[in-house]
Structure 1
Amino acid sequence: MGFVQEWEDWHRQKEAVLSGPHGFLAITGLHWLNPEPSRFEDAPGSWSATAEGVVVELDEGQELTVDGHTVRGRHSFGVIAERDSVYADWGAARLEIAKRGGNDILRPRHPDSPLRTAFTYTPAYAPDPRWLVEGRFLPYEEPRPVTVGAAVEGLEHVYDSPGQVEFELEGTRHRLTAFNGRGPGALMVLFTDKTSGLTTYAANRSLQIAAPDADGRVAIDFNRAANLPCAYTDLATCPLPPAENRLPVAVEAGERIPLERGGQP
């Protein structure tokens, strides 16, 4: 399979997840839970954050499906770990119960969300092999906790960083702080660059990097610089890049500002 075809397959799969029936574009609310039970228009029952975790009190005649089991009345989802999510189905909707920045949240996902039903595609730069560069992973002796901001004002995330990735662009050497990626040994970086706020989303883009080889080499493909959910909706709590991850060059590769945020086709 050729370089362009591989990129097109990656982008198509990413779009399918984003715009799926219960993807991020289906989210209709970001509800911050507290000890006092609260009701929301897009979810059943009343919800609270308690010492035993998130609790829902369903009204008579209401039910959820949790792990394949029907739930009625009072149900505790237990204590949820930071950045974890659990899910419950309510008819065609899926309810995400999660913890972000130490706060319990409820995010209903409805397939008929206008943001989802109106979605067409995400603009992106044409894939170009010159933005696929070889780099080197520089591991720390021990992972270091790194505190970063979030798309939601006042919220912070703490990630363990295993090290940095070093590479050259336009004859200049750069280093980015890396976080753990999706698979064993894989890495993820959050960054901005000189295109941010002009042709690419201002706050952040993310890049998944496969695990380093035995010599610490990594392939960094900026063609796969991806928007996070906050690029499309204010109902996301996405992390912002560390200060040192602001590249002083224009990375004209990867996904651009979404049409939903005024981006150009």
Structure 2
Amino acid sequence: MWRHVLAGLILSTGVALVHADTPQHVSTSDAYQQSIEKWRAERVARLTAPDGWLSLIGLEWLQEGANKVGSASGNDITLLAGPAHLGVVTLDKAGQVHIKLADGSGATIDGKAVQEATLIDDMHVTGNAAPTKVEFGPANFYVIDREGRKALRVKDADASTRKDFLGIDYFPIDPSWRIVADWVPFDPPHDLQMGSVIGTIDTVKVPGKAVFQHDGHTYELLPYQEEPGGELFFVLADRTSGHETYGAARFLYAALPQNGKVVLDFNKAYNPPCAFTSFATCPLAPPENRLDLRITAGEKKYRGAH
């Protein structure tokens, strides 16, 4: 009878049962190790995807009026990939961006073989829509808006940063750096000034603070939410920053608080795109999130830093 029951379990679960003499227990620490390794693999897959952060080859700021774009040196914006003369991108006084492709460019706009279109930037798309993408061979660009300044974010699946990626170095996985912090909500939310590597300063709304202890000392971190109802997003620095880890900041996401607690898993602290490319517009850790603490967990400084 038990043989039939066990066979049914195998068929229904897809899990093969092992011999009784074989250890079947997977410790909590082993399961945690595997979960972090899985998270790391997924992180690297996103980073190295054809349109991931390693594919960036340009951050080209638009001037008001007509901007001739192409790979030839005579253009107003010289791209590192694509046809010699791609077309003209016009930024009008109202901040609208329009493109007219050159004859024979071979480029498409959102996958369509049209000659011209208005380009919707990343800050003015609606719902789950993506900014208008102009594609030419393995490369593409779309418009980003940073405090009213418009730029072309240029990507290339054949970028050397992607093809020559050296991998990520990590601190050893340490379950003690998975910290359950107290959550102190702010009502109303507080304002926090966030600088960036391109010199902009954004004001973000902070819904509360995470308070935790380490080696007998108390620390606080302030997060914001990139979208309403989204996860908590921490931009932080610590005493490893600029030495073992990237100097400007590391990023950390955390699930929304439950029962007055929030889990800070520093084994998932990771480098911003600016650690890999000079063509990103990353936030800097605000003074409030610069901890007098060595967080020896998560990603280390990239060996192939630009």
Q: Give your verdict on TM over 0.5.
A: yes
Equivalent position SS for 2:89 = strand
- For the residues of structure 2 that align with 1:168 and 1:46, how far apart are their CA atoms? 56
Equivalent position SS for 1:28 = strand
Identity of matched residues, %: 31
- For the residues of structure 2 that align with 1:183 and 1:251, how far apart are their CA atoms? 29
Out of 170, 179, 183, the residue aligned to residue 124 of structure 1 is: 170
- For the residues of structure 2 that align with 1:128 and 1:182, how far apart are their CA atoms? 30
Q: Which residue of 1 aligns with 2:284?
A: 240
1:10-159 to structure 2, matched below 5 A, reads 10-38=39-67, 39=69, 40-42=77-79, 44-50=86-92, 51=94, 53-72=96-115, 74-78=116-120, 81=123, 86-88=131-133, 89-152=135-198, 154-159=199-204
Tell me the alpha carbon deviations over residues 208-251 of structure 1, each in whole angstroms, 9 at most, x when there is no partner. 001111x1211110001010001111111100111110110100
Give the number of the structure with larger relative contact order, counting CA–CA contacts within 8 Å between residues 6 or more apart.
1
- For the residues of structure 1 that align with 2:121 and 2:195, how far apart are their CA atoms? 24
Out of 239, 243, 249, the residue aligned to residue 194 of structure 1 is: 239
- For the residues of structure 2 that align with 1:27 and 1:77, how far apart are their CA atoms? 19
For the 8 Å contact 1:82–1:101, the answer to whether it is kept is: no
AA of the residue aligned to 1:71: V
- For the residues of structure 2 that align with 1:151 and 1:32, how far apart are their CA atoms? 15
Tell me the alpha carbon deviations over residues 170-195 of structure 1, each in whole angstroms, 9 at most, x when there is no partner. 22111111111578352011110010
Count matched residues.
259
Larger radius of gyration between Structure 1 and Structure 2:
2
Structure-2 change in CA distance of 1:25 and 1:139 (3 Å): same
- For the residues of structure 2 that align with 1:78 and 1:181, how far apart are their CA atoms? 20
For structure 2, the residue ranges without an aligned partner over 5 or more in a row are 1-29, 70-76
Give the deviation of 1:64 after TM superposition. 4.1
Equivalent position SS for 2:41 = helix
- For the residues of structure 2 that align with 1:179 and 1:235, how far apart are their CA atoms? 24
- For the residues of structure 2 that align with 1:64 and 1:144, how far apart are their CA atoms? 45
For the 8 Å contact 1:126–1:253, the answer to whether it is kept is: yes
Out of 171, 175, 191, the residue aligned to residue 216 of structure 2 is: 171
Out of 242, 261, 265, the residue aligned to residue 221 of structure 1 is: 265
Equivalent position SS for 2:152 = strand
For the 8 Å contact 1:46–1:57, the answer to whether it is kept is: yes
For the 8 Å contact 1:52–1:76, the answer to whether it is kept is: no
Give the deviation of 1:19 after TM superposition. 1.3
| Greater share of residues in strand | 1
RMSD: 2.2
For the 8 Å contact 1:135–1:219, the answer to whether it is kept is: yes
Tell me the alpha carbon deviations over residues 20-66 of structure 1, each in whole angstroms, 9 at most, x when there is no partner. 11111111111111212222332621223222522212111235444
Q: Which moves more between the two structures, 8-17 or 74-83?
A: 74-83
Name the TM-score, length of structure 1 as normaliser.
0.90
